[in-house]
């Protein structure tokens, strides 16, 4: 069954804990807006994931529900950790009432920024966090705010010509997402509409268009496969995030229900997924990768 009141709802993002370590606290969405779109999910849990922006890719367009660029926050009590900095993240931090938002200082409780990878849709408002931060609460931080991401710090790869490829960190296990998801309560998973990709690059395709089409469908998880992944992992609550395109009709994301026997959540901006921590380790949302951090060691 698919729900949000309708549904409750990223490549694999684990927005949960191992089954022994947490249980999700999900409050049903409130009344629908005048447009018929359900209100965001709410949670009063001390530890929760807030999907700030759910639109993947660089495209612009009107969406319903409205979706900003990809970004999530792992909230732990009175502090939070930002995962990705897509377009509009500053506004969404204010909308989510994070930090000292009433004093226009949403960054006051930010403790770290994690970048899943360096595609433009994941980083295009990082410069705003840094350049506008002093006027939006960043100066209130009692310690430096680290920014974590892939690549060599301070070094840009060559723009043209041959250059050595970076070493593979784990050649025997390069994509551990499904294995890591086993036993988690919440799986926040990215998704792409293959129907949209085929419409964007209709056949017959030029070699350039074929390459672009293959990139889209091979770099993201087709909507028809997400449910199978969630079922295989035994996750009770899969949440769709980083939806490509953000303008795709809400009802078409229900195709992710295929192969999944539980409750599907089609993520909307500002949804909150609560986690009641008992023990174990957090696995926080990070786009196409996982960032695992122990609560006791979070600064």
Give the span between the Cα atoms of 43 and 32, in whole angstroms: 17
Q: Is the pLDDT of residue 286 over 70?
A: no
Does position 78 have pLDDT exceeding 70, yes or no? yes
pLDDT band of residue 74 (cuts 50, 70, 90) is very high
Calculate mean pLDDT across residues 104-133.
94
> pLDDT > 90: what percent of the chain?
53
Between residues 185 and 266, the one the model is more confident about:
266
Q: How many angstroms separate the CA atoms of 51 and 11, rounded?
A: 15
Task: Assess whether the previous peptide bond of 162 is cis (omega < 30° from 0).
Answer: no
Does the pLDDT at position 20 exceed 70?
A: no
pLDDT at position 18 over 90: no
Residue 100 pLDDT exceeds 70: yes
In terms of pLDDT, which residue wins out, 170 or 125?
125
232: Cβ–Cβ under 8 A, 6 or more apart, which residues? 178
Does 36 or 15 have the greater pLDDT score?
36
Number of C-beta neighbours around residue 141 at 10 A:
16
Work out the average pLDDT over 39-57.
92
pLDDT band at 169 (very low <50, low <70, confident <90, very high): low
C-alpha distances (whole Å) from 26 to each of 21, 209, 222 are 16, 42, 26
Express as a percent the part of the chain with pLDDT over 70: 75
Q: Residue 40 and residue 284: Cα distance in Å, rounded?
A: 20
DSSP, collapsed to helix, strand or coil, labels residue 112 as strand
| pLDDT given for residue 174 in this prediction | 59
- Comparing 42-51, 56-65, 169-178, 187-196, which segment has the lowest mean pLDDT? 169-178
CA distance linking residue 259 with residue 205, whole number of Å: 31
What is the SS3 assignment for 216-273? HHHHCCEHHHHHHHHHHHCCCEEEEEEEECCCCCHHHHHHHHCCCCCCEEECCCCEEE
Residue of 264, 207, 202, 185 lying closest to 21 (CA atoms): 185
Mean pLDDT of the chain: 79
pLDDT band at 62 (very low <50, low <70, confident <90, very high): confident
- 51 near 241, Cβ under 8 Å? yes
Whether the Cβ atoms of residue 80 and residue 92 lie closer than 8 Å to each other: no
Phi–psi pair at 98, nearest 5 degrees? -95, 155
Give the pLDDT confidence score for residue 271 in this predicted structure: 96
Give the largest Cα separation in the chain, rounded.
Answer: 57
Highest mean pLDDT among 75-79, 184-188, 281-285: 75-79
**pLDDT, position 60:** 76
Cα separation values, 73 from 29, 86, 151, 171, Å: 19, 12, 22, 30
Q: What is the mean pLDDT of residues 77-106?
A: 95
Residue whose token pair is 């951090």: 293
**Residue found under tokens 């506008």:** 132
What gap in Å lies between CA 48 and CA 41, rounded to an integer?
Answer: 12
- Would you state the pLDDT for residue 83? 95
Cα angle, residue 138 at apex, residues 135 and 144 outer, rounded to 5°? 145
> How would you label 219-254 residue by residue, b for 16+ Cβ within 10 Å and e otherwise?
ebbbbbbbbebbeebebbbbbbbbbbbbbbebeebb
Q: Which of 45, 283, 90, 95 is nearest to 177 (CA)?
A: 283
pLDDT, tens digit, 9 for 90 and up, residues 211-252: 999 999 998 999 999 999 999 888 888 899 999 999 999 899
């Amino acid at each position: 069954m698919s729900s949000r009141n309708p549904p409750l709802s990223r490549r694999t993002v684990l927005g949960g804990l191992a089954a022994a370590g947490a249980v999700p606290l999900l409050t049903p969405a409130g009344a629908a807006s005048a447009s018929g779109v359900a209100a965001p999910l709410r949670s009063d849990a001390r530890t929760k994931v807030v999907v700030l922006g759910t639109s993947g890719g660089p495209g612009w367009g009107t969406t319903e529900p409205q979706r900003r660029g990809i970004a999530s926050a792992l909230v732990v009590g009175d502090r939070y950790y930002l995962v990705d900095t897509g377009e509009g993240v500053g506004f969404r931090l204010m909308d989510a009432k994070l930090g000292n938002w009433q004093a226009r200082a949403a960054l006051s409780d930010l403790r770290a920024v994690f970048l899943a990878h360096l595609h433009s849709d994941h980083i295009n408002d990082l410069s705003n966090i840094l350049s506008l931060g002093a006027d939006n609460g960043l100066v209130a931080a009692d310690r430096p705010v680290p920014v974590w991401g892939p690549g060599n710090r301070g070094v840009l790869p060559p723009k043209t010509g041959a250059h050595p490829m970076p070493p593979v960190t784990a050649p025997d296990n390069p994509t551990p997402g499904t294995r890591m998801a086993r036993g988690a309560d919440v799986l926040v998973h990215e998704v792409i509409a293959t129907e949209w990709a085929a419409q964007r690059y209709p056949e017959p395709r030029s070699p350039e268009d074929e390459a672009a089409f293959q990139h889209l469908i091979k770099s993201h998880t087709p909507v028809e496969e997400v449910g199978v992944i969630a079922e295989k992992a035994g996750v009770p609550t899969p949440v769709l995030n980083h939806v490509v395109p953000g303008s795709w009709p809400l009802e078409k994301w229900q195709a992710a229900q295929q192969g999944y026997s539980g409750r599907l959540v089609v993520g909307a901006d500002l949804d909150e997924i609560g986690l009641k921590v008992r023990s174990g380790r957090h696995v926080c949302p990070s786009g196409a990768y996982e960032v695992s951090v122990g609560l006791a060691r979070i600064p």
